[in-house]
Amino acid sequence: MASLKEIRNRIRSVISTQQITKAMKMVAAAKLRRAQDRILRMRPYAQSLKGILQNLSANLDASQIQSPYLEERPVERVLLIVLTSDRGLCGAFNNNLAKVAQQAIHQQYEAQYQAGKLDLLCIGKKGYEYFVRRGYSVVHPEYVDLFTRLDFDHVLTVAEQLLSWYAQGTYDRIDVFYNEFKNVATQIPRQEQLLPASADMADNTAQAGTSMEYILEPSAEAIVTDLIPQIIKVQFFKALLESNAAEQGARMMAMDKATENAGELLRTLRLTYNRTRQAVITKEIIEIVSGARALEEA
């Protein structure tokens, strides 16, 4: 059985840990409010932009839309973008997404992986460390800390690089893996095709009653062709915002659970301390009584 001093030290240690986790929960909650506000404002914008593109392309044939980002090619070289966090203490947030990415590598892109034609672009230190440690081909480590400055102008340079790689034929398929923010307690790992642009992005079949008339300059074809890369950039930025909000939600829940667990451990330690202290006092009383009785008998 542990001594009273050891138990007191453990109690002090748990109290200190509980204070840290409680503070981290409050910080994550403050960051979550800002991140949640950003993603909730981004979603309608992305949907509206996509709706405009669909309305514009409704009266165009597929052959009239000339964009290198819609070109379907045999998938030989693949780039997978994995969005994780820079720090831990956020539960299974990073591991769940890494497992989804690994599953896609060894099921969907096994042939490219075995041929050495599959690269990973990890944004977030945890994902970078995870895949480097397991021997995967991780490229462009300069993009790992992109989350340290999460604004559109900063992200734009990476998005334009992705578009350039696809247009030049460096990669034939680019997918992005991220945690979608549903609510504070729920983050959903997603795999989304970034390039080539998905078919519904330039869908030329508008729903009945949803088409709108526009005054177009210089032409519908030129505007649609220009909109496609812009939507891809917004799609990439939206994935980063989703991941950021999901990370803060996961960290807040993890720290809340850690604080709760620390409270339960404190109750157990204090009960053990009181029982040990009572046993020590009882033992001392018995020793005193036994000594007194021995003196009387002597």
Catalytic entry in 35, 90, 123, 158: 90
CB atoms within 10 A of CB 58: 16
Query: Is 122 among the residues known to form the active site?
Result: no
The β-bridge relationship of strands 186-195 and 173-183 is antiparallel
**What residues are annotated to the active site?**
90
